[in-house]
Structure 1
Amino acid sequence: MVRLTRAQQQERTRAAVLVAAAAEFAAHGFAAAKVDQIAERAELTRGAVYSNFPSKRALYLALLVETVEREAVADLPAASPRTTADALGSFARVWLERLPLVGDTETQVHPRSLAAVVDDAASRMALARVAGLEVLLLALALESCAPPDAEPMRQVRRADLVLRLLNGSGPLADPVLGSDPFDVAAACRHLGGLDLADVWDPPHLPYIAAALPCRKPWVPPAELPDLITGRGVGFEEDGVIAVLGTHRLDAAEEIVRAARPGEQVTVAVVTSDPAEIGRLIRLRIGDFARCLRRVFAPDDAPQLRLVLDDSAQLASAVTAAGADDATEHAVRIHQGEVVARAQGRGAAHAAAAVDAAAIVRPPGGAP
């Protein structure tokens, strides 16, 4: 008889709980499902369920995350659309075809049918911030549709309008289709042809503190999976790394706006509640990234790396000790050194705006 290690036994228990939970949620929906019934289906104790998942919501979100990530393996690489209008039409069709239709029951599990799950202020705030992050990701992908000789133009305002249309009245609206999806897709495509000025002028930026120059060795942590591509990424390259709590995810746009073209930008998301809020972010971004991958070729994907720093290993590397939902720390890496760091509101923008060569080069001397 083969004796399982403790880790193997825990993984087997976790897998059994997820299988039982899938059956219970499918039969009764999130609200009516019972942890006791999940334990009974799995032939485990209630304590065994809670030792792997601290709450019913954490279990439900874990099940959705596994479903999305398992289905993502089957995603086919796309041939990039030729115009912004083509891209938006394709994106809208991909988005709409995955949503539940009118008449679908509450028991049909879907990563955006979270009305019964998101029932507290912390989760609602996290979803609102993630909605803004999704706008940025779509905008960055749309920029790949610009002709090579065109003047660079941000697409954030256009992406925001499209996602507002697709989401309904807001990021927390239940995405059950009540109107003709072909009309919605046509409207999104039409937005690609509108002449929209991308005005961006946050009032706080003139008052943020400049990043502090420094010269310290950079010790990169182990790889983490990129939520956008699903691939593991390391942190050895030159560029800017921002550690953002869930309340500060809007700073991702600030770092992208300030970074130089082609520069490596990494956003690490931290939260005080990885079991629920962390999984909620992983679920929404994973689902959103699937839509992007079905429309845009890998080379045209958003040039932004997004990781969930559950264990705070990247936060520790940038000395963001005690990182929480309000954290904003950022560093600039250059030739194996941290050459600038910033913290507090505006830190991401401040670090991205630094000219690394000016710090490394001695005054009046050669680089």
Structure 2
Amino acid sequence: MARLNRAETQERNRARVLAAARAEFADHGFRDTKVDAIAERAELTRGAVYSNFPGKRALYFAVLAETAGQQLEPSYREPGRTPREALGALARAWVTRLPLADTEESHGAARLGTELLSEVLGERRTRLPFAQLLQLDALLLGLALENLTRPHPTPRDDLARLPTSWRAWPGRLVRVAETVLTTLHGASQLAAAAPGFLEPFNVVKACEQAVDLDLDDGWTVPPFLTQAEAVDAAWTPQAATDLVRDAPAVFDDGVVAVLGLHRLAAAEDAVRALPAGSRVTAVLVTSEPGELAPLARLVLADLAGCLRQAFPESAWPRLQVVLDESGALASAAGVPAVSDGTEVAVRVEAGRIVARADGRGACHVVASSDGSMPGGPDVGSGPRRRP
């Protein structure tokens, strides 16, 4: 048998650690699982575990992220043609993953994710990214719902008609999405804590009816704390996976937003400012990729798999989401150093970066600029408001 090279050995060991950790967490729960027991089960040293994961919590998030991507039945695909049908299909896909009875078979699966929220809530450095990741999920689901309701989103020119202090965004359904996600995440916690209590039909029905709620939905035009500058630089991104579609990301013309895990809500600022048909790519970065990148994968995988099954491809949001653990994509966008507070946006045209902004409001000012080459009249001006 041919000897494995270093990268192949590391990948094999990582897979063994994940498999062993999953079994230990299912058998004993997160708190009572010992890293030494994981190493023994994987037939590796304790050092080999830590060479792949910085700590037990990072390993826990990675196990749950891998499990979330495997739980949906491949044959289950009944996309809805209306928002109500799509929300019903999304809820059915979600609840089929849950342990709905207290059986020996479901006990391990239920226990595996029981301690997720307590681990997330334990520290601010996980709470804030988790909250922002859920906001990103709500945006993705809201955009998909809007595409079924209104295939051609509100034109960028309509920004001029919005009041400076927000009241409502025409057709926005992100608050409906937030309500649905609250219901589904609550169902997950109850299924784990009280197997047999949850009635899946009621969960599906509640999610379907959420589309009829009047939640006074709206979006605020962000304050312009930065300016877009016209530039002319090469755009040579490396290959990456779009976590929304579970497919290679497409890096053609549009806006690329490099966002730290504390700034994910800013992705909507770019989406709302761009004209219909334009692409936004959110490149997620963090100063703690070992622990927070698996958490990001987990939260996005929980929703994205269900969304792909519940909505026709034509309704999938025009927002791509890429996790940039190495910082290579950020570097390609001219961001050499990243943090969880990063917000940098660039506009790409014909394979060149033609505009860039850094700081709060960067996503909006770049998306609302005209993308012209140096000297373009609208770069950094933001949306024009009428008196």
| TM > 0.5 | yes
Q: Any idea what SS the aligned residue of 1:240 has?
A: strand
CA distance in 1, matches of 2:33, 2:204: 35
Q: Any idea what SS the aligned residue of 1:21 has?
A: helix
**Measured at CA, do residues 290 and 279 of structure 1 come closer, stay the same or move farther in structure 2, by a change above 3 Å?**
same
CA distance in 2, matches of 1:94, 1:113: 22
Q: CA deviation at 1:141?
A: 0.9
Q: Any idea what SS the aligned residue of 1:333 has?
A: strand
CA distance in 2, matches of 1:304, 1:347: 17
1:142 pairs with 135, 140, 145, which one?
Answer: 145
Residue 185 of structure 2: aligned partner: 167
Question: Counterpart of 2:356 in structure 1: which amino acid?
Answer: R
After superposition, the CA RMSD in angstroms is 2.8
1:1-367 matches, cutoff 5 A? 2-71=2-71, 75-76=74-75, 78-101=77-100, 103=102, 105=107, 108=110, 110=112, 114-118=116-120, 119-146=122-149, 153-168=171-186, 176=192, 178-202=197-221, 205-214=222-231, 216-235=232-251, 237-357=252-372
CA distance in 1, matches of 2:50, 2:270: 39
CA distance in 2, matches of 1:68, 1:332: 33
Unaligned stretches of 5+ residues in structure 2: 155-169, 379-387
Q: Deviations over 1:125-158 (max 9, x none)?
A: 1111111111101001112222669977221122
CA distance in 1, matches of 2:323, 2:101: 34
Q: Any idea what SS the aligned residue of 2:217 has?
A: coil
Q: CA deviation at 1:115?
A: 2.7
Q: Any idea what SS the aligned residue of 1:255 has?
A: helix
1:100–1:110 Cα contact (<8 Å) kept: no
1:58–1:275 Cα contact (<8 Å) kept: yes
Q: CA deviation at 1:40?
A: 1.5
TM-score, structure 1 as length reference: 0.87
**Measured at CA, do residues 25 and 77 of structure 1 come closer, stay the same or move farther in structure 2, by a change above 3 Å?**
closer
TM-score, structure 2 as length reference: 0.83
Question: Counterpart of 1:275 in structure 2: which amino acid?
Answer: G
Q: Deviations over 1:168-199 (max 9, x none)?
A: 49xx9676464433223222212223455432
**Measured at CA, do residues 223 and 179 of structure 1 come closer, stay the same or move farther in structure 2, by a change above 3 Å?**
same
Q: Deviations over 1:289-324 (max 9, x none)?
A: 011011012222111110001111111111122111
CA distance in 1, matches of 2:287, 2:152: 45
2:256–2:347 Cα contact (<8 Å) kept: yes
**Measured at CA, do residues 211 and 174 of structure 1 come closer, stay the same or move farther in structure 2, by a change above 3 Å?**
farther
Q: CA deviation at 1:29?
A: 1.2
1:242–1:266 Cα contact (<8 Å) kept: yes
**Measured at CA, do residues 270 and 86 of structure 1 come closer, stay the same or move farther in structure 2, by a change above 3 Å?**
same
Q: CA deviation at 1:243?
A: 0.2
Unaligned stretches of 5+ residues in structure 1: none
1:246–1:271 Cα contact (<8 Å) kept: yes
CA distance in 1, matches of 2:342, 2:190: 30
| Further displaced range: 127-136 or 38-47 | 38-47
CA distance in 1, matches of 2:198, 2:52: 41
Q: How many residues align?
A: 356
**Measured at CA, do residues 295 and 201 of structure 1 come closer, stay the same or move farther in structure 2, by a change above 3 Å?**
same
Percentage identity across paired residues of the two chains: 46
2:26–2:112 Cα contact (<8 Å) kept: no
Question: Counterpart of 1:81 in structure 2: which amino acid?
Answer: G
